[in-house]
Amino acid sequence: MPNGAETRSTLDDYLRARIPFVSIRTSERGRVHDMLTEVAVQRQLDVLVHTLSQGLREVRNNTVVADDKSLLGALEFAGQQFMARQNLTVVFTDVQQLSDDNDTTRRFVDLAALAEQHGGCVVVITADPVWTPLQRLGMSVSLAPPDLDEMRQEIAGFLEQYRGSIQIEWGAAEYGQAASILSGVTKIEALNVLSTLVVKRSIGKEDLAQLSRAKDSIFSDLAGLERVDLRDDDYQVGGLAGLQRWLDRKRPLLTMDLRDRGMRPPRGVLLIGVPGCGKSLSAKAVAARWELPLYRLDMASVFGQYVGQSETRLKEALATADTVAPCVLWIDEIEKGLAGSGTDSTGVTTRLVGQFLYWLQESSGRVFVVATANEVRALPQELLRSGRFDDMFFVDLPDEKEREDIIGIYLTKYLKVSPPAGMIAHLASLSEGFAGSDIQAAVAEIGYEAVRVGDGNVPEHFFSDAFRNVVPLARSAPERIEEIRQFSDRAIPASGRAVERRSDATRSRRIVLS
């Protein structure tokens, strides 16, 4: 869609060319009204605007020209004016049911024909499609939400009028970041969000995060994605130091204006590896740490029973993600939705893969995708090609130091007292071959016992017994772990260390907790 400057230029051309019928597709009536007013004043054009609340008014001097405020009355008055005056433009802003053949569209067809005979122009502002025979009498133009340049200008213009009366810490850099965050919203929505900052009498750099939350609330009821509510202190990730350092480098780039370099914002990351080692948790941690809304796309739920339904659902979901950007889009176990490309008889999966890859490659939305996969072999090879995601990371079983970190995180979360001295290191040595989810399960069992007997009354042997009672995947299905590790050389180690092929850990005797 054209931006504001392009739309204004197009409207200027259409009005000067005396196109008999012009439709403007947008929901921002006020923004279009401002454009038409500018053109009318600059070109000294006679322009009348009709609204149901105010009737017909002359744009340049804002005077009422007809008492009848109804649409039918305005259409009749416009017809009379076209026959009496040359080069008149009449703008209609409150028109319904223009998408099919009905009495209203027929009246507009007659009015457009009359305008053509007398050098007039009929302009309709609508968010809906226009009946084809009517539209073919003239031209159409669509107005997109403000682009980065226009949004930055609107933000700066709005806030600068308050500088001096309230404390404003934002400068050019913050205006640019705010424009990136508010991309996709209308001008009035952006100004409403900024007004909530102004009433606080102080605008600091930390308020940029509030813009994301406010934008998220605007689009909270959009269909196609599941919004994931995040809790502030629930998403600590132990280990994965390499991945976390990479994410720290990418975060500032997500809201920077990179157009002068011909670069797009970071697209996302594909996490593959051993189940239960923090891939899904990382998606939540990214959104929480970056203070961005998190949306989940369930690829398995995209499939529909009717022809074309699956493709439509995916298209709508991805369009929604672009609308709510900047955001984090979490696609858990992506292989469940995109596996089988080229093998299904209907070709649905192949089309979904192509549609998703096209969006991943071409979309300019500031959507950071965190996709996870356990069965790497099931993924289409096109998805693994360089350039689709920014990078691909392999998440392996945590080593002893990483297990200490994970155990410490969960003990702090589940217990109200510090564990016995040396206990974390002891539990880390017992948990060789454990995934992060195995560690969480073992520490949760300790937490349940602490609730039952009191935090300070959990016997030390119970800590060890809880860990010995867990049978991790590395012991129950070591061949699966080795199969998954075969793909480790295709990705960057998420831990920051090289993946080692470890032998199966010795199976410990299960102990009944007492």
Determine whether 27 is exposed, middle or buried from the number of CB atoms within 10 Å of its CB (0-12, 13-18, 19+): middle
Q: pLDDT tens, 89-117?
A: 999 998 888 999 999 999 999 999 999 99
- pLDDT-derived band at 377 (thresholds 50, 70, 90) equals confident
Among the listed ranges 36-40, 211-215, 506-510, which one has the minimum average pLDDT value? Answer: 506-510
Tokens of 337: 């939705």
- Three-state SS string across 428-465, please? HHHCCCCCHHHHHHHHHHHHHHHHHHCHHHCCHHHHHH
Does 304 have pLDDT greater than 90? no
CB 276 within 8 Å of CB 287 = no
Report whether pLDDT(205) > 60: yes
Residue 58 pLDDT exceeds 50: yes
Contacts of 502 (CB under 8 A, 6+ apart): 397, 433
Domain 400-493 carries which CATH code?
1.10.8.60
Pick the CATH number of 4-142 from 3.90.25.10, 3.40.50.720, 3.30.565.10, 3.40.50.300: 3.40.50.300
Would you say residue 419 has pLDDT above 60?
yes
What's the confidence (pLDDT) of residue 498? 65
**Residue-averaged pLDDT of the chain:** 87
Indicate whether 223 pLDDT > 70: no
- pLDDT of 353: 86
CATH number (1.10.3720.10, 2.60.120.10, 3.20.20.70, 3.40.50.300) of 241-395 reads 3.40.50.300
- Nearest C-alpha neighbor of 466 from the set 431, 436, 432: 431
Q: Which has the higher per-residue pLDDT, 480 or 513?
A: 480
CB atoms within 10 A of CB 200: 12
Peptide bond into 326 cis (omega under 30): yes
Task: Please report, rounded to a whole number, the percentage of residues in the chain having pLDDT higher than 90.
Answer: 51
pLDDT band of 502, cuts 50, 70, 90: very low
Q: Give the pLDDT mean for 471-476.
A: 89
Single pTM value for the model: 0.73
What pLDDT score was predicted for residue 119? 93
Whether residue 331 has pLDDT greater than 50: yes
With the CA atoms of 425, 428, 430 and 434 taken in that order, what torsion angle do they form, in degrees rounded to the nearest 10? 180
Strands 121-126 and 21-25: parallel
| 513 confidence band (pLDDT: 50, 70, 90) | very low
Nearest C-alpha neighbor of 124 from the set 63, 40, 44, 51: 51
Range name among 38-42, 126-130, 376-380 with the lowest pLDDT average: 376-380
427-449 residue pLDDT tens: 999 999 999 999 999 999 999 99
